[in-house]
Structure 1
Amino acid sequence: MKKLFSMIIALFFSISLFSSCSQQVENQSISNFKTITTQELKDNLNNSNYIIVDTRINDAFNGWKLDGIERGGHIKGATDFSSYWLDVDIKDKEAKLLEIAKNKGITPDKNVVLYDANGKDALKVAEFLSKNGFKNIYIYDVKQWAKDKNLPMESYKNYYMLVPAKWVKDLIDGKKPETYKGGPFKIFEVSWGEESKDHNEGHIPGAVHINTDEVEEGPMWNRLSDDRLEKFALRNGITTDTTVVLYGTDSMAAFRVAVILKYMGVKDVRVLNGGLQAWKREGYELETKKNQKTPVKSFGAKIPVNKDYIIDLPEAKEILKDKEGSCLVDIRSWDEYIGKTSGYDYIKGKGRPQGAVWGHAGTDPNNLQDFRNIDNTMRNAKEILEFWKEWGITPDKRLAFYCGTGWRAAEVLWYADVMGLERICLYDGGWNEWCNTKGLPIEVGEPKR
């Protein structure tokens, strides 16, 4: 008995010593960088020699109250450089990350204030920057800032439309996460095809597969008729009062369905920010069993409840006529916009609707790199608004987003909604419909601005 007691004491001492050593190493790492007080940060908030950087997960920057913080969102005027980006597996990662930092104004000549709420994120980014020649680095705990309601913080108006993985996990575990009002919920993995390889290999527990053919059909790939969309909802157990969470290995399909569900009248539609990878990154479990759809008898409203959220060809023509107050925004690559390529093997026409303005995208139809961070979360809204402004795309106008067949534009529409833009919609037919409708004016080449 005495021997057992001695072993327990020895084990406890070893654990305590290890914990103490670990804390000393962490403190030693932190001591390599300067700290900044709340008052000093406040005094230099508008100092051009300072750059304030939020190093937390993208969801915290957007508005979620994570890691015990009292107010969600970011310090007003701060930019973002998430520590999560340092773990993304991409080619030439270090060079790419330094390029991202430079484009955000995070440069070695600035006093760089890195903040977090968990004592880890800022240190991780600080070590990366220090290794790459940054000298004037400061560490700050944003929980101190959030406690004082007189200090300015910013959140996206509808940040709740994009949810972190932890929010979904809490929902599954029977908790009541932030902004969830209770009631029935459904989780869907969305992709094209009756059978999803990704779904079968592992999906979020309880998730059911939605094939995008359930909401759209060729050759134009517009949404289905309202009565067929109602049948889709009933088959999947969706009512106006169901909280619907959507995700995918690539989120674009999830955004496509999300926009259609909001158009139909589902009051609470969420998309997992960063897709399935965000769930895996947190180390949450996956399941492989096939969950069955559970039908309902009534949707609860006459579809569409939000009719103006998706528009068709007649409305798109009207938007183009209103050159001062509206924009038809092209969410395709530059080469598609100027008519160098159609971007699709099944769309022959090249060019754009006459008068449409370029709203950015990526380099190909499967890429939205201009709107996503390197971990496929939503890009900083300020940066999006800045490159839109160059094309006259401003929040005061009515904005109709389109692409080839509605997928890319649906994702960008969702981001615009998250940001709080109000007069926004999806032109569902997009370039596929426009170029295949006789007599409609088409432009090619670089526009005169």
Structure 2
Amino acid sequence: MSLISASDLRSQLASVRLLDARPDPADFAAGHLPEALHADLNRQLSSASEPGHDPARGGRHPLPALPPFAAQVGAWGIGPSTRVVLYDAAGGGNAAARLWWMLRALGHEEVHVLDGGLPGALRAGMTLTSEPTTVTGRAPYPAKSWQLPTVDAEAVETLRKDRGHKLLDVRSRERWHGHTEPFDPLAGHIPGSLNLPWNENLEPDGCFKSPEILRALYSPLLDGTPPERLAVHCGSGVTACHTLLALEVAGLPGAALYVGSWSEWCRSGRERGPRP
């Protein structure tokens, strides 16, 4: 199971490597779960902070090169047999699910997202600390390639016109319709895409909906299309991973991630959907 409850984490804390994936390092420094290390979205989970980064080529949060990420995973003390738990403050949406996808793409199996995130942990009686966590690093994680499916803009251009495939945008409905765009220079959506916002994977308390409810949510959208013929995107390839996790929880694994997402597409000069 790719999720772990706060109560289970509390009882198993000593046997897991805990990573805090909240985007702002200052939030982590102000208080985090005991023994957690910080995973920085811009510096470690993407190449967004590298010199020359251009959102038109890979989006706002492109995947880092495999060797430095594998080295970072080793520096966190993670080897192939390490049990890893990830959390953020957004029910996994920013950016615990992205890190879940990246570790799974390395081939790591023992990785779980904390269901309900940091708020759920606090409700379960866990406390925060500002004490730094020390860890003994390991050799780079042994991985030779990303092992989960991805698509690029050229592939999306083709599959969006293919009735045998589906393209899912998990941004808010307002952004998909082009009524607003807070992050990218153009509003709208990729023509041919469907829309189901990522946060509809969650109950009001920030925990994932049950596998049965998630399956009932996504099965009509797939409408007989195998999950392996679905590509998922968002604004910059982060919250899309939340939906990939939800699909796995629902028993519908195999969809591809379009990492560049709308942030790349809208800068590419390609056709786009409605404007505000």
SS of 1:443's partner is coil
**Cα shift at 1:303:** 3.0
Taking the aligned partners of 1:285 and 1:296, their CA distance within structure 2 comes to: 28
Task: Tell me the residue number matched to 1:330.
Answer: 169
Please list the CA deviations of residues 107-135 of structure 1 after superposition, one character each: whole Å capped at 9, or x if unmatched.
xxxxxxxxxxxxxxxxxxxxxxxxxxxxx
* Counterpart residue number, 2:20: 189
Structure 1 position 348 matched with structure 2 position 190: no
TM-score, reference length from structure 2 = 0.85
Q: Provide closer, same or farther for how the CA distance between residues 348 and 298 of structure 1 changes in structure 2, counting only shifts above 3 A.
A: closer
Q: State the 1:383 CA deviation.
A: 4.1
| Cα distance in 2 for residues equivalent to 1:171 and 1:420 | 26
Aligned length: 262
Distance 1:285 1:339, change over 3 A: closer
Q: In 1, distance between residues paired with 2:162 and 2:6?
A: 41
Q: Distance in 1 between matches of 2:224 and 2:243?
A: 14
1:165 aligned residue:
6
Return closer, same or farther for 1:288/1:395 CA change in 2, 3 Å cut-off: farther
1:357 aligns with 2:199: no
Aligned to 1:240: 80
8 Å contact kept, 1:404–1:431: yes
Could you tell me how far 1:385 is from its partner in structure 2?
4.2
User: In the alignment, is residue 229 of structure 1 matched against residue 66 of structure 2?
Assistant: no
Correspondence for 1:428 among 225, 235, 259:
259
The alpha-carbon deviation at position 404 of structure 1 amounts to 0.4
8 Å CA contact 2:215–2:250 kept in 1: the answer is no
1:443 is aligned with what amino acid? G
Deviation of 1:384 after TM superposition, in Å, equals 4.0
Tell me the residue number matched to 2:249. 418
Q: 1:393 to 1:343 in 2, by over 3 A?
A: farther
Tell whether the 8 Å contact from 1:330 to 1:401 is kept in structure 2 after alignment.
Answer: yes
Structure with higher helix content:
1
Change (3 A) 1:387 1:285: closer
Q: Summarize the alignment of residues 141-160 of structure 1 with structure 2, pairs less than 5 Å apart.
A: 160=1
- In structure 2, distance between residues paired with 1:303 and 1:277: 34
Shift of 1:317: 3.0
SS of match in other structure, 2:252: coil
Identity %: 24
- Aligned 8 A contact 1:244 1:268 in 2: yes
Q: Determine which structure has the larger strand proportion and give its number.
A: 1
Match of 2:234 in 1: 403
Helix, strand or coil at the partner of 2:257: strand
Q: CA RMSD in A?
A: 2.3
User: Contact 2:173–2:196 (CA<8 Å) still a contact in 1?
Assistant: no
User: Structure 1 residues 389 and 164 mapped into 2: Cα distance closer, same or farther (>3 Å)?
Assistant: closer
SS at match of 1:223: coil
Residue 283 of structure 1, CA deviation: 1.4
Aligned to 2:52: none
Q: Secondary structure at the match of 1:171?
A: helix
Residue aligning to 1:200: 29
Q: Distance in 1 between matches of 2:173 and 2:79?
A: 39
Secondary structure in structure 2 of the residue aligned to 1:415? helix
Contact 1:352-1:431 at 8 Å conserved across structures: yes
Give the match for residue 262 of structure 1: 104
Listed as ranges, the gaps of 5+ residues in structure 2 are 49-54
Question: 2 CA distance for matches of 1:359 and 1:389?
Answer: 12
Task: After TM superposition, give the deviation of residue 348 of structure 1 in Å.
Answer: 0.9
After TM superposition, give the deviation of residue 445 of structure 1 in Å.
6.8
Deviation at 1:264, TM superposition (A): 1.8
What amino acid is aligned across from residue 192 of structure 2 in structure 1? Answer: G
Question: By how many angstroms is 1:246 displaced?
Answer: 0.3
- What does residue 51 of structure 2 align with? none
CA distance in 2, matches of 1:406, 1:243: 25
Work out the CA distance in 2 between the residues paired with 1:421 and 1:381: 10
Match of 1:22 in 2: none
For 2:232 and 2:225, locate their aligned partners in 1 and report how far apart those are by CA, in whole Å: 13
Q: Secondary structure at the match of 2:78?
A: coil
Unpaired segments ≥5 residues, structure 1: 1-159, 175-184, 362-367
Counterpart residue number, 1:372? 202
Deviation at 1:196, TM superposition (A): 3.0
TM-aligned CA distance change 1:295 to 1:315, over 3 Å: farther
Choose 389-398 or 230-239, whichever is displaced more.
389-398
Q: Does 1:299 align with 2:141?
A: yes
5 Å matches for 1:22-37?
none
